[in-house]
A and B are shown apart, each in its own frame.
Chain A
Amino acid sequence: MSMAAALGGLATLSTASGDSFETPTPAIFYLPIIGEGDWAITEQMFWGGVSVLLLSLVMVRLSAKAAVVPTKGQWMMEGFYNFARNGIARDMIGSKDFLRFVPLLFTLFALILLNNLFGILPPVMNPTTGRIGFPIAFTVVVYVVYHWVGISRKGLGGYLAGLVPPGLPGWIKGPIWVLEFITFFITRPLTLALRLFGNMFAGHMLIVLFVSAGAYFLTQGIVFQLLSVPTFIMAAAMVLFEGLVQFLQAYVFTLLAASYIAGAVADDH
């Protein structure tokens, strides 16, 4: 984020020198394709829709004829599914209750992963989740689900009282309850949405910066043209690194969602 500020400063410097390098600004994320203003349909919405369509078709096709002896397609599907099912849902929630939440967690993981990977996948090259509306939507769903699970299991009073870990001395219960309440109702959703958004936003920003800088250097003198080589190498490295981050953020988002649900499902804090 502070990098974005620094970029803003850089932009003013370069414009001051009279040359035409335009540093990427957050504006590059706003890509309306239909309409204008507050209700414009954006490119990210288009690609988000494509991601849903693509995931639906591929996953239904690969799982439709699921058999005891899997085909190669089913085997790959199972590997992907088991990563969310066993690696995230079962490990976090426990084998007793996890199956109920597998569809949601698997959906979140698949959807976030593909929309993150759009950041390095041609022809998209723009992570849908770099627009905060999408992470907020996903987070709201997780937020509602884990509170709803906790309240329906323990009752509203029991759920709120259960925020304090058992075994604390009486005088500290009050402050701890306030802290836990803030964690459960404010910090968790805020960080969940912002972590995903921030990583995707910043990663895309970095890639755009290196690519546009390399392209700009090519239009300048020979020294800058030589300088464009490491810049492009850096851009390629950032693409690889972003691939890792994009996978990791999808994993972390789903893992944390599972852990919040696990906390609501668990009998003790």
Chain B
Amino acid sequence: MHITAASSLAALPMASGEEKLPLIPHIPELIFGFVMLGILYAVVAKKVVPNLERAYEERRAAIEGGMEQAEQAQTEAREALEKYTAQLAEARAEANEIRETAREQGAQIVTEMRAQAQAEATRITEAAKRQVEAERQQAVVQLRTEVGTLSTALASKIVGESLEDEVRQKGIVDRFLTELESGDVRPEKVTTTGQDS
């Protein structure tokens, strides 16, 4: 097809003697075509493309860097949250523990206090008992003395003479009272002995 086109063009009358077929290259133009392409290629390959590719690379790095940063921030935030959650749980556990200890301690204190109070109460009761006993003893002694005195006085009145010294000497009253306490004395006997003595 191209060949036919060329031949039909060849059949055209030439407008000028200088003009050749359009399909035959003008040699200076052919050479200059290489030169044009070579020069522009050198400029593009040395300057234009490296500049633009560098910008692209920087842009890619910037975007990736930003994403990395965001990711890092997210990771940090997640770690912080985990840390705080852990701390919170720890604190809660600690509080629980403290509360538990306090409860135990409280219970212990109550028990101790109770025991102490019990002891105190017991002690007071004991003291009171001892005092009562002492007082009773005192009263018994006093009573015995008085009873002796009274009996002696009474007996003296009845007998008509003072028996006090004798009584004291012989410890009659004491003996009597001791017998009385031990239950050896019978009322009949008292009368008889009373009559006898």
A-side residues, CB < 8 A to B, are 1-2, 4-5, 8, 12, 25-27, 29-30, 32, 36-42, 44-45, 48-49, 51-52, 55-56, 59-60, 63-64, 66-68, 70, 74, 77-78, 81, 99, 102-104, 106-108, 110-111, 131-138, 140-141, 190, 194, 197, 201
Contacts and interface: CB of A to CB of B under 8 A. Distances in A.
B34 A141 contact: yes
Contacts of A138: 33, 37
Given A32-B18, A68-B62, A77-B52, 20 more contacts: A2-B8, A4-B8, A5-B12, A8-B12, A26-B9, A26-B19, A30-B16, A48-B33, A56-B43, A59-B43, A63-B55, A78-B52, A81-B52, A132-B22, A132-B25, A134-B29, A134-B32, A134-B36, A138-B37, A141-B34
14 contacts: A27-B15, A42-B26, A42-B29, A45-B32, A48-B29, A52-B39, A60-B48, A68-B58, A81-B48, A106-B48, A111-B40, A131-B29, A132-B23, A132-B24
Given A42-B29, A48-B36, A30 B19 contact: yes
Contacts of A140: 34
Contacts of A78: 52, 55
A110 B27 CA distance: 23
B44 A133 contact: no
B40 A74 contact: no
Residue among B11, B54, B55 with most chain A CB within 10 A: B55
Contacts of A55: 40, 43
B196 to A, nearest CB: 144
A110 B12 CA distance: 34
Interface string B59-84: 10010000000000000000000000
Size range of the chain B interface in the assembly:
35 or more
Contact of A8 (B13, B23, B33): B13
Contacts, number: 166
Contacts of B39: 52, 56
A110 B40 contact: yes
Contacts of A26: 9, 12, 15, 19, 21-22
Nearest to A11: B13
Contacts of B27: 38-39, 133
Nearest to B30: A133
B48 A134 contact: no
A140 B38 CA distance: 12
Contacts of A38: 26-28
B41 A5 contact: no
Contacts of A41: 28
A131 to B, nearest CB: 5
Contact of A133 (B15, B25, B59): B25
Contacts of B41: 103-104, 107
Contacts of A27: 14-16, 19
A107 B12 contact: no
A24 to B, nearest CB: 9
A5 B11 contact: yes
B121 interface: no
A9 to B, nearest CB: 10
B159 interface: no
B36 A52 contact: yes
A64 B46 CA distance: 11
B86 to A, nearest CB: 41
A70 B58 CA distance: 12
B33 A133 contact: yes
B18 A201 contact: no
Given A74-B55, A103-B45, A107-B44, A136 B28 contact: no
Contacts of A29: 22
B2 interface: yes
Contacts of A107: 37, 40-41, 44-45
B26 A133 contact: yes
A102 to B, nearest CB: 6
A106 B8 contact: no
Nearest to B61: A68
Contacts of B158: none
Interface in B108-126: none
